[in-house]
């Protein structure tokens, strides 16, 4: 979610020393012809807010950067966004160019007091703690010349965030079936792909039902923990390849769940991609600051390539085993 809003539009500082002291200064009047008051020594401010600020570890996440030109007279022409350590940029809508570590937005022509939203999609690593984006802005439309815009100190904290949840990466040998697992005290999940490409890895994580990862589907009460999983390419892009997922719910939880029979267990699925759900169970949920489509998975067979439940049964220990097919970068919640 967006952090606290921007401070009001600020005047250009007459001198860098004054800005360091935090003294509010009125900008000098513009000279004839509208010459900018921003210079290498008298800088203009811009504000920024980033959403989400708590992305889920091991997921591909779309980040929105709201940029506000707080200068009194000067247009803001270009912005460079740099990814935190371990993040991998995979796309940047409207950017002139991007690499895995940065994205360049040119020809913005952002007028004084105006705002714009820049979008960067990045793979979030399996990490913990905090991280920080980097950002620079210039009045030139091609990001040339000196940096006569500086970040408003009041919004500098908006570039920081914290990871939500935990995960692990399992590198996959090419063209060989690859599996990865995650578990908690009551729930265990395993995801398998039969056709990984060179450099692919599987990210997996099991998150508590009491955490911010918890979500629900109409007509069904989920009681197990949330299993997150995805296959990423070497470039950090989620791969839409078929996955087989098996979730085991411990006997103790099955007994206390209120639906002890294996046939009554469903998968409340969450995906950033639309999918066919059991009628009247579709919805949305925000997980790690990202909006997901949700719904109960129908039983197989179903439409070609659609996620669906393949089987349900109990093992000799009394645990419930649910197997389903999946695609992309989803969550499964029994």
Residue pLDDT, tens place only, 46-100: 999 999 999 999 999 999 999 999 999 899 999 999 999 999 999 999 999 999 9
Q: What pLDDT does 304 receive?
A: 57
Per residue in 17-40, pLDDT (tens digit) is 333 333 333 233 222 223 345 765
Query: CB neighbours (10 Å) of residue 237?
Result: 16
Instruction: Give me the chain's average pLDDT, please.
Output: 87
Q: What pLDDT does 145 receive?
A: 86
Q: What pLDDT does 293 receive?
A: 96
What is the percent of the chain where pLDDT is above 70?
Answer: 87
Both tokens of 134, joined, read 């980097």
Q: Report, as an integer, the average pLDDT of 259-274.
A: 94
Identify whether the C-beta of residue 167 lies closer than 8 Å to the C-beta of residue 182.
yes
SS3 call for 252: helix
Question: Phi and psi (nearest 5°) for 188?
Answer: -135, 140
Burial string for 248-266 (b: 16+ CB within 10 Å, else e) reads bbbbebbeebeeeebeebb
SS3 call for 300: coil
Q: What pLDDT does 39 receive?
A: 63
SS3 call for 282: coil
Q: What pLDDT does 315 receive?
A: 96
Confidence category of residue 44, pLDDT binned at 50, 70, 90: very high
Identify whether the C-beta of residue 78 lies closer than 8 Å to the C-beta of residue 149.
no
What is the percent of the chain where pLDDT is above 90?
Answer: 74
Query: CB neighbours (10 Å) of residue 211?
Result: 11
Q: What pLDDT does 1 receive?
A: 32
Instruction: Give the residue with greater pLDDT, 266 vs 14.
Output: 266
Assess whether pLDDT exceeds 70 at residue 263: yes
């Amino acid at each position: 979610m967006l952090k606290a809003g921007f401070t009001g539009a600020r005047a250009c500082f007459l001198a860098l020393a004054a800005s360091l002291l935090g003294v509010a200064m009125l900008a000098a009047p513009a000279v004839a012809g509208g010459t900018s008051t921003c210079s290498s020594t008298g800088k203009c401010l811009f504000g920024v807010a980033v959403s989400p600020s708590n992305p889920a570890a091991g997921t591909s996440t779309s980040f929105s950067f709201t940029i506000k030109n707080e200068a009194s007279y000067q247009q803001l022409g270009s912005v460079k966004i740099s990814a935190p350590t371990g993040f991998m940029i995979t796309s940047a809508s409207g950017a002139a160019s991007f690499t895995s570590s940065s994205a360049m937005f040119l020809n913005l022509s952002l007028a004084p007091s105006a705002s714009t939203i820049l979008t960067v999609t990045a793979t979030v690593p399996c990490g913990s703690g905090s991280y920080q984006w980097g950002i620079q802005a210039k009045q030139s439309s091609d990001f040339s010349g000196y940096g006569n815009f500086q970040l408003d100190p009041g919004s500098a904290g908006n570039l920081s965030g914290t990871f939500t949840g935990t995960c692990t990466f399992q590198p996959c040998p090419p063209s060989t079936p690859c599996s990865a697992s995650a578990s908690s005290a009551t729930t265990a999940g395993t995801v398998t792909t039969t056709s990984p490409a060179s450099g692919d890895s599987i990210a997996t994580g099991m998150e508590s039902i009491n955490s911010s990862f918890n979500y629900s589907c109409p007509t069904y009460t989920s009681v197990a923990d949330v299993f997150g999983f995805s296959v990423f390419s070497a470039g950090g892009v989620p791969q839409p390849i078929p996955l087989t997922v098996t979730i085991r719910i411990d006997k103790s939880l099955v007994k206390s769940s209120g639906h002890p029979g294996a046939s009554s267990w469903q998968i409340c699925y969450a995906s950033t991609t639309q999918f066919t759900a059991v009628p009247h169970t579709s919805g949305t949920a925000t997980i790690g600051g990202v909006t997901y489509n949700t719904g109960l998975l129908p039983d197989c067979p179903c439409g070609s390539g659609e996620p669906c439940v393949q089987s349900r049964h109990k093992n000799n220990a009394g645990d419930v085993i649910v197997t389903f097919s999946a695609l992309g970068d989803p969550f499964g919640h029994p």
